[in-house]
Structure formats: C-alpha cells, structure tokens
Amino acid sequence: MVFITCFKIAVGKAQEAYQWADRWLAQPPAGIKVLGTYLTLGRYDAVWLLEAASEREVVKALQSSREVAVSETMVAVPRAEIRKTLA
C-alpha cells in the first residue's frame, strides 16, 4: 500500500524537525519503504510518499514525529483501481 503523509512543523521546532527527519529517513523502520520526500510551500511543510503493508505500520512508524510536527496520513489508491470498482 502507498501512503501520503503531510507534515506541518511545529512553531519553533524547524531545526529539531529536520534532525528527526534526517535520522528517520537514514534508517526507516522495518517494513517501511520511502518512495519520495518533498518540501512544500503552502498548507504543509513536507510531504512523504511511503510504502508499507498496512496503515498500522505507518502510524506506528511516524509516532515519534509528534514532538516536532503535526502530520496527516492518507492511503493512496491507484486511480485505475477506483475506475475498476466504479465500472
């Protein structure tokens, strides 16, 4: 499964957030594959694309980010899969 996680860095925590992300990305938890990371302009400060077997794995893996950021994670369903369901 693919997941999109959007991060909003806590006020005054930018340096800590970057350090947390550097450590996490250098050695992602078992079962998590990082497909891409992006810094963004707008509502969120960063967006990560992750792959994992379940939502539970991703939620557990990102719990430590709570100290430096607020995050929102969404399941990404391929468009073709939705189209098949609707056909």
The residues spanned by each domain of the chain are: 2-86
DSSP per residue over 53-77, as a string? S-HHHHHHHHGGGGGTEEEEEEEEP
The dihedrals phi and psi of 27, each to the nearest 5 degrees, come to: -145, 80
Percent of the chain with pLDDT over 70: 99
Specify the CATH number of the domain 2-86.
3.30.70.920
Q: pLDDT by residue (tens digit) across 41-64?
A: 999 999 999 999 999 999 999 999
